[in-house]
């Protein structure tokens, strides 16, 4: 799964997600399915996916350089 574009309805773990179409940010408190964006419109939302900003497990966005 591309964590930069996770389609609506995908099952994800808790974390923060940013709408790829409008930049709206949502927080998922627990594992569940991603909802459509609250600003969703077929005219403005063509990607219909979320970017995973933070979460558990599969996002090695470690702010510390680690050699």
- Residues forming contacts to Zn ion in the complex (CB under 5 A) are 19, 21-22, 24, 37, 39
Tokens of 56: 């558990």
Locus of tokens 């497990």: 57
Residue 59 near residue 11, CB atoms below 8 Å: no
Minimal distance, residue 65 CB to Zn ion, in Å: 33
Nearer to Zn ion, 4 or 56 (CB): 4
The residue (of 8 and 13) whose beta carbon lies closer to Zn ion is: 8
Q: How far is the CB of 2 from Zn ion (least distance, A)?
A: 17
Q: Within a 13 Å sphere around the CA of 12, how many CA atoms are in the beta-carbon half?
A: 31
């Amino acid at each position: 799964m591309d964590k930069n574009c996770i389609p609506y309805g995908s099952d994800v773990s808790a974390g923060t997600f940013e709408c790829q179409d409008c930049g709206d940010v949502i927080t998922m408190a627990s594992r569940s399915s991603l909802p459509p964006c609250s600003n969703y419109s077929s005219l403005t939302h063509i990607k219909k996916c979320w970017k995973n900003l933070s979460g558990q497990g599969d996002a090695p966005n470690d702010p510390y350089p680690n050699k």
